[in-house]
Structure 1
Amino acid sequence: MASSEIDRVRALLVSRPRPSDLAERRERLDWLGSLSTMPGDVRVEPAEAGGVPAEWTSTPGADPARVLLFLHGGGYVSGSLASHRVMVAEAGREARARTLALAYRLAPEHPFPAALEDALAAYRFLLGSGIAAERICLGGESAGGGLALATLIRLREAGEPLPGCLWCASPWADLEMSGASIETKDAVDPIIHRPYLAELATAYLNGADPRGPLVSPLHADLARLPPTLIQVGSAETLLDDSVRLAGALAAADVAVTLSVWPHMIHAWHLFHQQLAQGRASLAQLGRFVRNHLAEEV
């Protein structure tokens, strides 16, 4: 990878720093998503998944019975269908699956457990629509990665069928922010820093225990979860969330793959059209999904 690629992404982020106003923050993340162009062969269809606004995307090679259910990032307070649309479509292309992206409710207007309730509703919608659990990959980026894990924990506790595999991209799995990389990677991470995370956690938790397993799944019982792919950049303050999460999953006898991408920043997948490493990480995801989701019989 030419260092100039990631340097240009860093310069782009510096050119439009995160504002303090919540509405402007949400608009900025949508703007970042708009920098990528949707390929002409992608079909986009608005949907409602168990009462939650959602969006299907599919490419010509997609198996209609194989679904990637995606939960966007944005710290539980921002992110949308628009912000991650192109990236999600490319992930589906690599997985040869349809994607269902979810516009779950956001804090502070809708704090915990609203997002979790929406994710559960969408997953149950897929099951009710005839999609077999073993042909679903549940995926999430950043806060969406933590939300995906929380969703699986709730499903397991309820005795409901779990998806065939899990994808966590730069997951935020510890709202207590106890990982050492919060400090050791602060100088190289252009996006995520402790004060910002603390602000997000306060908005989402709304008084809930930051060590609770459904908000910080790093502290949960992770037994009997499906095969998991964790992708994280080495330049992330959340690096230790992924490293510790992989260890906790392994200790719980879960098949887990931890993939650390040198020099990559938080949520670099979003810039896959600008980064060779973004494209390669989505290709890795595609292989993982194809290897773990059951073939149609």
Structure 2
Amino acid sequence: MAVTPAVEERAGCGRGARAAALLMRWTLRPLIVRLPWSPLLLRLAPFLDAAAVLMVAPRGTRVAGVPGLACRAEWVRAAGVPRDSRRVILYFHGGGFVACGLRTHRRMIARISGAAGMPALSVAYRMQPRVPIATSVRDCVEAYRWLLDQGYEAGDIVVAGDSAGGYFGFMAPLHAMREGLPRPAGIAALSPFTDLDIDVKVAHANAALDPFIPAWRMRDMVRVCFPGAELTDPWLSPVHADLGGLPPTLIQVGSLEVMRVDAESMAERLGAAGVPCTLQIWEGQMHVFQIFADLSREGLAAIQEIGAFARRVTARSGRPRAA
């Protein structure tokens, strides 16, 4: 039975958020506009994660590598989060499917861990164009399977991700459920990419307002990362998938960003499939504004909302095997 998504418009945009948006408009956006999606550039893109070594996690954060997966992964526990927590966040980073990783997102993930009071398993899935998108999805599914094998119950796992990671935040549960695995407790998606059709984003009013993402350049991303894909393929495009059976979902998006169209479309499709969904639209905020929480108090507030959602949808706490 269809349900109506809860749409929450969060008012207020402080000076810090406005300053961050101006910084992105003057620096990063011009680079994205000019830099080609060439083989050389794409080979260098993963080094962005190494350059993020100075983005240290908050004091008291504990980080531990995870062996046994086909890709790199690490546990991130904020100060005060118990090692034996039964509840866990499975997090997939963003970066346009070609960049970023464990270091770029560690600080934000640590804050989410602290807000939720549970550890986070951060997964650096293998990226395009080195591997096909199916391999990236497989890495994310196997990370979820690994948690289940470690003794965590599906009802204690919240899947989360931002941008391209938000894409995997939907695709990993869909593919996992297709393989007979139980659904997780919830999904938290930050500015998720959910629709391979870039034309709808280029035509959106936010294409002229987004301080970060030039909408038309996402055509290159789809060309490189989804070569030959049918834009409505339900096993490649979350917005066209059969979403019935997915768990309660929280979607956060900035009011200015071009990815707002994906967030709104996904919320509508989730509601049509009977999946409880809350869509939060944050006034004046840009793409994945939560990662700029050092500048934006709204980013900190949004992270607290993610933590509250994770606590609410996880069923119980206890003592799993130590991670």
What TM-score results when the alignment is normalised by the length of structure 2? 0.86
- Of 65, 69, 73, 1:50 maps to 69
2:97 corresponds to: 76
Range 272-281 or range 58-67, more displaced: 58-67
| SS of aligned partner of 1:113 | helix
- Of 32, 35, 40, 2:59 maps to 40
- Matched letter for residue 84 of structure 1: H
Range 15-24 or range 151-160, more displaced: 15-24
Aligned residues, how many? 296
Please give the alpha-carbon distance, in whole angstroms, between the structure 2 residues aligned to 1:72 and 1:265: 17
Range 214-223 or range 41-50, more displaced: 41-50
| SS of aligned partner of 1:44 | strand
Contact 1:189/1:265, CA 8 A, preserved across alignment: yes
1:11 corresponds to: 22
Query: What is the RMSD computed on CA atoms of the aligned residues?
Result: 1.9
Contact 1:173/1:215, CA 8 A, preserved across alignment: no
For residue 61 of structure 1, report the CA deviation from its aligned partner: 3.1
1:117 corresponds to: 138
| Inter-CA distance 28–52: structure 2 relative to 1 (3 Å threshold) | closer
2:42 corresponds to: 22
| Inter-CA distance 191–182: structure 2 relative to 1 (3 Å threshold) | farther
For residue 97 of structure 1, report the CA deviation from its aligned partner: 0.8
- Matched letter for residue 58 of structure 1: R
Matches within 5 A, 1:145-156: 145-156=166-177
| SS of aligned partner of 1:168 | strand
1:249 corresponds to: 270
For residue 194 of structure 1, report the CA deviation from its aligned partner: 2.7
For residue 75 of structure 1, report the CA deviation from its aligned partner: 1.4
Please give the alpha-carbon distance, in whole angstroms, between the structure 2 residues aligned to 1:94 and 1:182: 36
- Matched letter for residue 107 of structure 1: Q
- Of 40, 62, 65, 2:81 maps to 62
Please give the alpha-carbon distance, in whole angstroms, between the structure 2 residues aligned to 1:46 and 1:84: 15
Please give the alpha-carbon distance, in whole angstroms, between the structure 2 residues aligned to 1:139 and 1:84: 12
Please give the alpha-carbon distance, in whole angstroms, between the structure 2 residues aligned to 1:184 and 1:211: 23
Please give the alpha-carbon distance, in whole angstroms, between the structure 2 residues aligned to 1:138 and 1:235: 25
| Inter-CA distance 211–30: structure 2 relative to 1 (3 Å threshold) | farther
Structure 1: gaps (5+ residues): none
Please give the alpha-carbon distance, in whole angstroms, between the structure 2 residues aligned to 1:272 and 1:115: 28
Contact 2:93/2:105, CA 8 A, preserved across alignment: yes
Query: How big is each residue's C-alpha offset from its partner over 1:227-280, in whole Å with a ceiling of 9 and x where there is no partner?
Result: 100000001111011111111101111111110001100011111111101000
2:321 corresponds to: none
- Matched letter for residue 42 of structure 2: L
For residue 28 of structure 1, report the CA deviation from its aligned partner: 4.7
Structure 2: gaps (5+ residues): 1-11, 319-323
- Of 290, 313, 318, 1:269 maps to 290
| Inter-CA distance 140–49: structure 2 relative to 1 (3 Å threshold) | farther
Higher RCO structure, 1 or 2 (CA under 8 Å, sep 6+): 2
What TM-score results when the alignment is normalised by the length of structure 1? 0.93
Please give the alpha-carbon distance, in whole angstroms, between the structure 2 residues aligned to 1:104 and 1:182: 31
| Inter-CA distance 245–221: structure 2 relative to 1 (3 Å threshold) | same
- Matched letter for residue 279 of structure 1: L
For residue 39 of structure 1, report the CA deviation from its aligned partner: 1.5
Matched, 1:294 2:315: yes
For residue 98 of structure 1, report the CA deviation from its aligned partner: 0.5
| SS of aligned partner of 1:257 | strand
| Inter-CA distance 209–65: structure 2 relative to 1 (3 Å threshold) | same
| SS of aligned partner of 2:256 | coil
Range 189-198 or range 82-91, more displaced: 189-198
| Inter-CA distance 208–49: structure 2 relative to 1 (3 Å threshold) | farther
Contact 1:165/1:226, CA 8 A, preserved across alignment: yes
- Aligned-residue sequence identity (percent) comes to 31
Range 7-16 or range 235-244, more displaced: 7-16
Query: How big is each residue's C-alpha offset from its partner over 1:102-124, in whole Å with a ceiling of 9 and x where there is no partner?
Result: 11011011122111010011000
